[in-house]
Amino acid sequence: MSTVTGLDGCATPCVHPEKVALATANAPGAEELSRVASVFKLLGDPTRARLLYALLEAGELCVCDLAAATATAEATVSQALRLLRASRVVTGRREGRNVFYRLSDAHVRLLLDVTREHALHDGSAR
């Protein structure tokens, strides 16, 4: 009788020490992984993602403009912006009574561009 190997295991022992060493040498620590995961968690919400892509395209928008551009209630936009500001993904600039929001830096723009490109990639060019 033959042994059945699960789909997530190897049929024969095949650990490659040099590859394992490469994978672990510069692996992020627990705190860094937590910070990275929190950024992905922010992007994981469709409303927040819509707001970020609106800011990516328009550059700078107030809450009213963001609500209109994304067909989202102003209260929802404000709540989302609070989280995005706390995570330093967006920043605000006050002009009189209005606050205009924008993406905090080029890293956020790059992250949004690459994420969208990956999501639209069909994988047929393997």
Residue pair 42/89 in contact (Cβ under 8 Å)? The answer is yes
CATH number at residue 54: 1.10.10.10
For the whole model, what pTM was predicted?
0.78
User: Helix 30-43 crosses helix 106-120 at what angle (to 10 degrees)?
Assistant: 70
The answer to whether position 104 is within a domain reads: yes
Question: 28 — phi, psi (to 5°)?
Answer: -65, 150
Domain residue limits at 95: 30-120
The answer to whether position 22 is within a domain reads: no
**What pLDDT, on the 0 to 100 scale, is given for residue 6?**
60
The answer to whether position 12 is within a domain reads: no
**What pLDDT, on the 0 to 100 scale, is given for residue 2?**
58
Tens digit of each residue's pLDDT, the chain (126 residues): 556 556 666 667 788 889 889 989 989 999 999 998 998 998 899 999 999 999 999 999 999 999 999 999 999 999 999 999 999 999 999 999 999 999 999 999 999 999 999 999 876 655
The total of structural domains in the chain comes to 1
The answer to whether position 55 is within a domain reads: yes
The answer to whether position 8 is within a domain reads: no
The answer to whether position 3 is within a domain reads: no
The answer to whether position 85 is within a domain reads: yes
The answer to whether position 111 is within a domain reads: yes
